Amino acid sequence: MPSLIRLLVALLFLGALVYGGMLALVVMVEPTPDEVRVRVPTATILGEDAAPARSGPDLGIRSNEDE
């Protein structure tokens, strides 16, 4: 039984360290907002079909549509 209590105390101690580290990050670190730019293709905005997908190398994989 003492080994079980020792294990539980060790796990509680490790959990407290993790919780304390997370709390320290929340209190001490201030995030800096940055501007984010994402380029959206015009075809996507207008709802047009984009260019056809590029065909890759033939890997010998067949789908049900080929049959």
CB-based contacts of 43, cutoff 8 Å, min separation 6:
49, 50
pLDDT digits (tens, 9 = 90+) for 5-54: 999 999 999 999 999 999 999 999 998 999 999 998 888 888 776 555 56
**pLDDT for 31:** 86
**pLDDT for 45:** 84
Phi/psi at 28 (nearest 5 deg)? -95, -25
Q: What is the pTM of this model?
A: 0.46
Phi/psi at 39 (nearest 5 deg)? -80, 120
**pLDDT for 11:** 98
Parse the chain into domains and list their residue ranges. 1-29
Confidence of residue 63 (pLDDT cuts 50, 70, 90): low
| Pair of tokens at residue 53 | 């997908």
